[in-house]
Structure 1
Amino acid sequence: MVAQNKSSMPNVIIIFTDDQGYQDVGVFGSPLIKTPNLDQMAADGIRFTDFYSASPVCSPSRAALLTGSYPTRVGVPKVLWPNRPGGLSNQEWTIADMLKAQQYATACIGKWHLGDELHYLPTKQGFDSYFGIPFSNDMSVNPNCKVAENIIFREGMTLDSLREKKWRKSKVPLMKQDAVVEYPVDQTTLTKRYTESAVDFITENKDAPFFLYLAHTMPHIPLYASKGFKGKSKRGLYGDVIEEVDWSVGKILRTLEILGIDDTTLVIYTSDNGPWKLDNGRGGSALPLRGFKFQTYEGGMRVPMIAQWKGKIAAGSVCSQVASTIDFLPTIAYLTDGEMSGKPIDGKNIWKLLSGKKTKSPHEKEGFFYYKDTIAEAIRYKDWKLRVVKDKIELYNLSKDISEENNVAEGNPKVVRKLREKLEDFDADLKQNTHRF
């Protein structure tokens, strides 16, 4: 591959964790979890306080990130399951498709969860390579999956047992390209192996533009940490897991620095949705937000986000404007002169927020919408948030009530009416303009 002009063709790395709570990073207020690398990344770049995933669950949030659209628009409104129909159509235009057309090297490492049939896998969605598990780590294996000739079987499994149509919870396969190479995967090694693979990819492509989508399996349950991290955190196993992810971030950032490409690489870190509501410290924390994964309260969809690009993003910046994972595609398109698909999408170019050249969110005029499955449950419009679930109307002023404790709908009927109309109008329009192939 011919080397490109890095000033106009930046490398892009998106690190996407699974079910990490808003508070579960030091700079976002975690009292017990130590994240020195993420804290330093924020010190060297920008932290977004009002950043949202486009769904409170995994498959839809991943579809949204890659396509720049609310999940319903691209046909992935719900969680996908192994060996069941459905996935992100390979006719969609993903970030990887866009950058591959720009002669970028593209790699997906980690959790995919956008369909496990061959035509849905990353190598059919713009990625040159794939290494990871095809869905959540509490699921099972698709008995019809493609198997590599040199597959490694563990825990007494065989090809015959893999082919059985039997649900084996949390016994998941590790894939390389489109074939299973290990079954079941040793989950204690996943964060480390993903990181090693990411470092190898970065090193191999240091002289030409690349896009790395690193979607960590953790901290989705069941939780696993490697020997070097297990039992180390004051926050228990969940803390161990996050601290190992933090180590991974540090390893990647140091690799960029050693290779001399940290000033030509945009690195973004965020989560797919809020934390599980679990006892005994097994789940994360969304404090001071209300709610958890599966919910359209802030704790289900507002997530930590940190971005770094040495020399382009001012060190120590903080942005309190609304932004979302759906904004990644149009922003990256702007930075790389990438071509958009021409189909309607929902994301906005947020480079002016990232670079500190603008103080207002591009979502301010229209609003940001909270979907659960195919249902538009809420809208954030400036500081106001309206939530309508089963005819229960809730209105919060998030600038004064970040924890959504005081429902002020009764005292603000005009605001309720205006926001409900915006919510219903947007949802009707979206459902008339879904992507159809």
Structure 2
Amino acid sequence: MDNKRIISIGFVILFFVSGINVIAAQGKSSGKRPNFILILTDDQGYGDLSINGNPTIKTPNIDRLALEGQKWTNFYVAANVCTPSRAGLITGRLPIRSGMQGTKQARVLFPKSKGGLPESEVTIAELLKQKGYHTAMIGKWHLGSLPQYLPLNNGFDYYYGLPYSNDMDKVDSVPYLKAITEPRNEYFQVPLYRNKDIIEKPANQNTLTQRYTAEAVRYITDHKKEPFFIYFAHSMPHVPLFPNPRFAGKSARGIYGDIIEEIDWSVGEILKALKQNAIDDNTYIVFISDNGPWKLFRELGGSTGPLYGAKGNSYEGGVRVPAIIWSKKNVFAGQVTEIGSSLDILPTFAKLAGVDLPADRVYDGYDLSSVLSGSSNKSPRDEMYYYHADTLVAVRKGVYKLLLYGNSEVGYPDALKKLDKPVLYNLNEDISERYDISDKHPRTVQQLIALLEQHSKTITRVEDQLLK
């Protein structure tokens, strides 16, 4: 028997035994439902973690999550900008199914928007409450700022955060570019909420990450004896960047690096709180970004690493994000190169918590729990549909991605343009989307066009919430 065969058999045995150990650990903790902490950063790029190769940003705590858990390298969000991405995350459904997809006239919700996440949508929090979970939303919401759309009316018991992006509610007297590049708190009249009450306006953005973290740690401590779900959505590194004085000037990457390294500190505080309260054995942490970096703002935006594109477009850099799933004993550690999506988080949490999904709607997410446990090394997801607002612009199936529309590499707010002919990429061999191979694979092109047509038939248009 040759050495390669021996190594292959050894790996299979190791994977099998390790998977059994993880499943056994899950069984030991099955007396209490697992806790879930979903950490979402804002406009963080694929290349903005040291575990993903960034040479100047130091993220030891996030790296620890990746080394002890699973780092997913082909993980996608539901949309390339804030509002629709968050709608897909929290409902497990493509935003076009809920009316949260937007149009070219309105890509995201604004402070004066009349719409928001429809009452008919079922959120992760609402599902988990069926099994007695305590639920908290900490950070940026951006799914509607009128009272009926805020977190307390969407399954959350507690809310502490901003209702929309930190660059909104800008004062008229200061030009937008100046407010972003030379930010002051008084330039933005963004309110900070605790539950239904505004407790600070304008919010002191320099201490937001620190205060969000304190709220999350307190919630963990207060609810350590009961199952809980914390949706922890950081307001940054979305511009304007407001570094905490404790971190300002510390990163070699400049202000952007200061922000990411404070977020990394926050992750470390969460891990400490779980250990101190003896619940790290039974808690899952998911760490992702809502979309790619806002490259329009140059060094104030992030890096996509080897990926082409940015926030606001459907190249890989706009929608493929850093993704880590951690649990001290319930996740089979390693790098996962299978396809996953933020759409999959709701059905995965539901499965792990023993919650049945409603049968009256289409879900676009898949249950990834078998991959997390190590009982399978194959993701149930083999395809991803790319929407730019209400336009279906691309599809990925296996290693192939077919792109029908394009825009500039820097992304938002650049206009969308239909390509003269579809382009095809093999993303395993061409992660940067440089080499069109459509002429070499005409059959694959036709198969992917048929897949797009088939998917489109499952979409029933509903009222657009972002144009209200």
State the TM-score, normalizing by the size of structure 1: 0.89
Matching residue within 289, 295, 299 for 2:317 = 299
Instruction: Name the residue aligned to 1:285.
Output: 303
Instruction: Name the residue aligned to 2:211.
Output: 193
Residue 251 of structure 1 aligns with an amino acid whose one-letter code is E
Structure 2 residue 423 is matched with structure 1 residue 394 = yes
Equivalent positions of 1:419-434 (< 5 A) are 419-431=448-460
Equivalent positions of 1:322-401 (< 5 A) are 322-342=339-359, 343-364=361-382, 367-389=383-405, 390-392=418-420, 393-401=422-430
Residue 56 of structure 1 aligns with an amino acid whose one-letter code is N
Secondary structure of the equivalent of 1:181? strand
Instruction: Name the residue aligned to 1:102.
Output: 131
Task: Output the CA distance in 1 between the equivalents of 2:233 and 2:296.
Answer: 22
Task: Output the CA distance in 1 between the equivalents of 2:202 and 2:154.
Answer: 25
Residue 423 of structure 2 aligns with an amino acid whose one-letter code is E
Residue 91 of structure 1: CA displacement?
2.3
Secondary structure of the equivalent of 1:212? strand
Structure 2 residue 337 is matched with structure 1 residue 320 = yes
Task: Output the CA distance in 1 between the equivalents of 2:73 and 2:126.
Answer: 30
Task: Output the CA distance in 1 between the equivalents of 2:36 and 2:401.
Answer: 32
Structure 2 residue 281 is matched with structure 1 residue 263 = yes
Q: Deviations over 1:238-290 (max 9, x none)?
A: 00000000000000011101111001101110000000113551110001000
Matching residue within 64, 68, 74 for 2:98 = 74
Secondary structure of the equivalent of 1:201? helix
Instruction: Name the residue aligned to 1:160.
Output: none
Residue 435 of structure 1: CA displacement?
11
Residue 216 of structure 1 aligns with an amino acid whose one-letter code is H
Task: Output the CA distance in 2 between the equivalents of 1:356 and 1:376.
Answer: 34
Matching residue within 248, 252, 256 for 1:234 = 252
Residue 391 of structure 1: CA displacement?
3.6
Q: Deviations over 1:202-250 (max 9, x none)?
A: 0000000000000000100001110000111000000000000000000
Q: Following TM superposition, where does structure 1 have runs of at least 4 consecutive aligned residues deviating by more than 4 angstroms?
A: 5-8, 432-436
Task: Output the CA distance in 1 between the equivalents of 2:42 and 2:154.
Answer: 21
Residue 165 of structure 2 aligns with an amino acid whose one-letter code is S
Q: Which range moved further: 340-349 or 6-15?
A: 6-15
Residue 301 of structure 2 aligns with an amino acid whose one-letter code is G
Structure 2 residue 81 is matched with structure 1 residue 57 = yes
Q: Is the 8 A contact 2:98 2:462 kept in 1?
A: no
Structure 1 portions without partners, runs of 5+:
143-167
Residue 327 of structure 1 aligns with an amino acid whose one-letter code is D
Secondary structure of the equivalent of 1:193? helix
Residue 101 of structure 1: CA displacement?
1.6
Q: Is the 8 A contact 2:393 2:404 kept in 1?
A: yes
Identity value in percent:
46
Secondary structure of the equivalent of 1:49? strand
Secondary structure of the equivalent of 1:270? strand
Secondary structure of the equivalent of 1:223? coil
Residue 409 of structure 1 aligns with an amino acid whose one-letter code is S
Q: What is the alpha-carbon root mean square deviation over aligned residues?
A: 1.8
Instruction: Name the residue aligned to 1:244.
Output: 262
Residue 393 of structure 2 aligns with an amino acid whose one-letter code is E
Instruction: Name the residue aligned to 1:418.
Output: 447
Q: Deviations over 1:367-405 (max 9, x none)?
A: 210111011111110000001011441110001000000
Secondary structure of the equivalent of 1:99? helix
Secondary structure of the equivalent of 1:429? coil
Task: Output the CA distance in 1 between the equivalents of 2:220 and 2:248.
Answer: 27
Residue 37 of structure 2 aligns with an amino acid whose one-letter code is I
Instruction: Name the residue aligned to 1:32.
Output: 56
Residue 359 of structure 1: CA displacement?
2.2
State the TM-score, normalizing by the size of structure 2: 0.84
Task: Output the CA distance in 2 between the equivalents of 1:224 and 1:384.
Answer: 40
Instruction: Name the residue aligned to 1:253.
Output: 271
Q: Is the 8 A contact 1:8 1:335 kept in 2?
A: no
Structure 2 residue 436 is matched with structure 1 residue 407 = yes
Task: Output the CA distance in 2 between the equivalents of 1:425 and 1:285.
Answer: 34
Q: Is the 8 A contact 2:167 2:239 kept in 1?
A: yes
After superposition, the Cα gap between the structure-2 partners of 1:310 and 1:434, relative to the gap in structure 1 and judged at 3 Å, is: farther
Task: Output the CA distance in 2 between the equivalents of 1:420 and 1:271.
Answer: 29
Task: Output the CA distance in 2 between the equivalents of 1:6 and 1:141.
Answer: 49
Q: Deviations over 1:171-193 (max 9, x none)?
A: 21101112211100010010000
Instruction: Name the residue aligned to 2:408.
Output: none
Task: Output the CA distance in 1 between the equivalents of 2:373 and 2:342.
Answer: 17
Matching residue within 211, 231, 238 for 2:229 = 211
Q: Is the 8 A contact 1:8 1:336 kept in 2?
A: no
Q: Deviations over 1:276-325 (max 9, x none)?
A: 1135511100010000000100000000011111111123x110000001
Q: Deviations over 1:85-127 (max 9, x none)?
A: 2110122111000111211110000000000000000000000
Residue 24 of structure 1: CA displacement?
0.5
Secondary structure of the equivalent of 1:385? strand
Equivalent positions of 1:142-157 (< 5 A) are none
Q: Is the 8 A contact 1:106 1:210 kept in 2?
A: yes
Secondary structure of the equivalent of 1:330? helix
Residue 107 of structure 1 aligns with an amino acid whose one-letter code is A
Q: Is the 8 A contact 2:295 2:311 kept in 1?
A: yes
Residue 340 of structure 1: CA displacement?
1.5
Structure 2 residue 72 is matched with structure 1 residue 48 = yes
Q: Is the 8 A contact 2:96 2:461 kept in 1?
A: no
Secondary structure of the equivalent of 2:54? coil
Task: Output the CA distance in 2 between the equivalents of 1:48 and 1:7.
Answer: 29
Structure 2 residue 145 is matched with structure 1 residue 116 = yes
**Higher helix share goes to which structure?**
2
Secondary structure of the equivalent of 1:61? helix
- Report how many aligned residue pairs link the two structures: 404
Residue 344 of structure 1: CA displacement?
1.1
Q: Is the 8 A contact 1:231 1:240 kept in 2?
A: yes
